[in-house]
Chains A and B, each alone.
Chain A
Amino acid sequence: MIRRSTLPRRIADSLFKITSAVSSSLGLLIMIIIVSTILYYGASMLSIEFLTSPSKPYGEAGAGIANAILGTLLITFGAALIALPPAMAAGIYLAEYGRDSKLASILRFTGNVLMGIPSVVVGIFVYALVVVTFGRFSGFAGSVALAFLMFPVVMRTTEDMLRMVNDSLRESVLALGETRSRGTLKVIFRAARGGILTGVLLALARVSGETAPLLFTALFADSWPTSYFSGPTASLPVLITDYTMNSPFEAMHRAGWGAAFVIAAIILAVNLVSRYYAEKEKL
């Protein structure tokens, strides 16, 4: 019997293992670099004045980002109000009625395809649909754009979470004489609410950092977001874009990093909390 050396195979294997380990750490490394950059540039900007004053044109003293923080909250929660009811209802249909039917799988497939629509395309779509129709830019139009982004995500999460509920629970509810709709809403939905809540929070965090859908819908304004339905409304992502891309002034760039710090902190905190909550639920 000829014995072949296993050395080349062992070398290939070691090389492979090293490459895997290195590239796995790369994600972590990049994450650390980006977060520390945000901390380094952003944290030094934070002050009570920066967080409580509205943005002002370059050169005016006492400028901040408070109007953009409020605007982002308004636009994001507006989007949630528009998207959540139909998205959850759609998820209920897919999980409770449609299930594995042909029709449901077509709708599910379309939902997955919708998730891939680029956010900037949603932006010009809503511009044509809402801004042109009403004849004005508004925070509300921005909410509509973000709602379109949320809808398929929340629909699919709701479905996935409802489907994790055991069928024996559905049967028990029906056996107790409860109707299908009441059983779904009162028992099945309640059993899945932890997972659904997590999914909704993650979707909210995701869209709150979106810029492109707001560029031609909510626009930007150096004022408090008092005209959500009728005029341009400030938001953190658009403020960052404006200050980074369109301003030659160092002070504006720094303010942009300060805003980046705030939005990143909010998004990462929501992510950490909701994922922690989701993992605890499972135990």
Chain B
Amino acid sequence: MSERVFKSLTFAAASLTVVLAASFLIVLWFSGFEAWKTFGLKFLFTDVWNPSSGEFGALGALSGTLFTSLLALLIATPLAFAAAMWASDAPKWIASPLSRAMDMLAAIPSVIFGMWGIDFICPHFGFSLFSASLILSIMILPYITAVMRDVITMTPDVLKESAYGLGATRFEVVKDVILSFGKNGLAGGIFIGLGRALGETMAVLFVAGGLNMIPSGLFDGCTTIASALANDFAEAEGLHRSVLFALGFILLMLEFAIQILAQLYLKRGKIK
């Protein structure tokens, strides 16, 4: 095989990333075009959801998506940070099974988290925003922890040892040395977690209650863009289907923005 052909072939394969990203945007935009044409930008700011009369707004699902994801982040971030701290300098016989368990947790399919949530979380908190956030926080915990562990182990030992040498306690080393050295990387980890939470579908579909409106309380039913897509798409027709594509487009844009932020912060924190 000629060298040039081989190189061009591999380059073409790598370019598929850009082709794919672009075609996602194009296909979702045009499939949802009828919705954008019908409702205009107002679509983003109304929460009516009435398939029978053909009135739709994105705000119900969008606000549910943001509320559940942010609350999940609020629960998971401190836990992930503490777990990463501990794993980064616990003795190997403790740290290794813990991180193994986290890896396994990340491998369990979303749909099983959903079934588990129905039996173990919903009896206590109902089919609600809070149940969805709780499930999400468990699901994103391993991802945030993994990134944070990398960030923490990258803090130069010299810096930590100098602080210990000055008489700092473990807590002070974490607060003053590791946090300030790794803040970009840690922020990157949080964005990775947020990205996962925003797009998570099945678990949320099972426990959130599926009410397409702006949630007014923690224990109210709600829906997210991802779970609304999973629930409605098969039966939707005409304008309704186009509206769902438009929701998918919004979620895609949101996800692209979060991923770009995550990559920028991780790059600044020199992770990967």
Contacts and interface: CB of A to CB of B under 8 A. Distances in A.
Interface of A: 9-10, 12-13, 15-17, 19-28, 30-35, 37-38, 85-87, 89-90, 92-94, 96-98, 104, 106-107, 109-121, 123-125, 127-129, 148, 151-152, 155, 179-182, 202, 205-206, 209-212, 215-216, 237, 240-241, 244-245, 256-257, 260, 263-264, 267-268, 271-272, 275
Interface string B234-265: 10000000001100100110011011101100
Contact of B27 (A112, A128, A181, A267): A128
Nearest to A124: B248
B234 A215 contact: yes
Contacts of A34: 105, 108, 112-113, 116
10 contacts: A17-B170, A28-B97, A28-B101, A118-B199, A205-B107, A210-B109, A212-B202, A212-B230, A257-B115, A267-B107
B205 interface: yes
Contacts of B159: none
Nearest to A152: B17
Contact of B1 (A107, A151, A181, A241): A181
A120 B225 CA distance: 10
Nearest to A215: B230
Contacts of A115: 259
B73 interface: no
Interface stretch (B36-44, B54-62, B77-85, B215-223): B77-85
- For the side of the interface on B, what is the size category? 35 or more
B83 A26 contact: yes
A87 B13 contact: yes
B244 A116 contact: no
A261 B207 CA distance: 20
B138 to A, nearest CB: 6
Contacts of B113: 34
Contacts of A127: 233
B245 A128 contact: yes
B104 interface: yes
A143 to B, nearest CB: 16
Given A9-B171, A24-B86, A120-B230, 18 more contacts: A12-B169, A28-B101, A86-B13, A90-B13, A98-B11, A116-B258, A128-B245, A152-B17, A180-B6, A181-B1, A181-B7, A212-B110, A260-B111, A263-B109, A264-B112, A267-B107, A267-B109, A271-B103
Q: Is the interface of A mostly helix, strand, loop or mixed?
A: helix
Interface of B: 1, 3, 6-7, 9-18, 20-21, 23-24, 27-28, 31, 78-79, 82-83, 85-87, 90, 97-98, 100-105, 107-116, 118-120, 138, 141-142, 145, 169-172, 174, 195-196, 198-202, 205-206, 226, 229-230, 233-234, 244-245, 248, 251-252, 255-256, 258-260, 262-263
B17 A271 contact: no
A110 B15 CA distance: 9
Contacts of A237: 109, 111, 202
Nearest to A19: B82
